[in-house]
Structure 1
């Protein structure tokens, strides 16, 4: 029991102790790496799984906060996902749950950028690891289980064994990736909608629930994600 307490105390100390901020070269490299991951399509197809995890996690979190009962989350190999919650089929809770997905990664990135820019990048990594652990309990398919487990294991290796300077650099890169990576799915969403391939998208679900056209919801998604990227980018820019 004493050993477990010592480990938890050590983790708490690491997560809550401010680390020195990286120099301008590291900060700019983190931004460049994140941008390349988002812009280079073959790399993006793999990395997009992280955005999907954040997307579905946001659906699940808001559903619970609105009093809905979370029934499970599925993540698919084509980087799509599905979050099922039970409760009223209409009303504020359902609208908020549907809205949270596309803006979730950007909002998470903004929060990560705020903490990271104040020296708590290591704490951001531990918070994300805890969130992945909680999310794992709600996964209901094998690919989703594999996706969250691999992401969590990689993050645990970073937080437990790497030097704090590397941890800060990775937190900086992750923050940039969430901020920039939140925007591309919104663009892809509208591209799919224009081809008639996204009739069950979050925007179209919200259109059916509220009567507001789906394209307006896509625009709102875009404004929120771009806004988060701009504000978060200013926090992270050296």
Structure 2
């Protein structure tokens, strides 16, 4: 038997499991993160002076309202959120540059762990010093940075229809590419799930803010991000 044949004969056993396939698929992880975004924006909009820290589209609009002098909106709060989000996104881009060419699972785990840490830190601040002006800015900075970091990662991962923080294009695709539009609607279940996930997170977050303050929804968001960091796989 030739060396090549012998080598081939020695490779007849089961192939080693793909490490990227271990854990929860990215689609499920990103849908779960959409719930987290709803929690975060409920906290920020209802508890931090009508500012978003996950949905930057809404934040740009809010900044316009504040600039026009509309009551209940703050230029400093909104500007702080935008600035910290952009810094987080820049850091997320750096992480993508380092890990993007390798394991998607490791890349997602690093980013989600960082998100859990920053959101967890915001929960600690909310419990320790509720109501203080410095607390408001700390919560805005920590959550906006975490959301920027995550958004940069989600954008680079490129899973269709799951941005985790905004739904305008998701809703557009849901309608325009449905059977009533010009498509087959084959992505409708995923898009519908994203809308429901955001609604669930926002509803739960609003209820917790109204009845229990800011710390508990932030702690829940941090725990969810941490669990997803451990459980995520690298496969879509």
TM norm. shorter chain > 0.5 = no
Q: Which has the larger radius of gyration?
A: 2
Q: Compare relative contact order (CA 8 Å, sep 6+) and give the higher one, 1 or 2.
A: 2
Q: Name the one with the larger strand percent.
A: 1
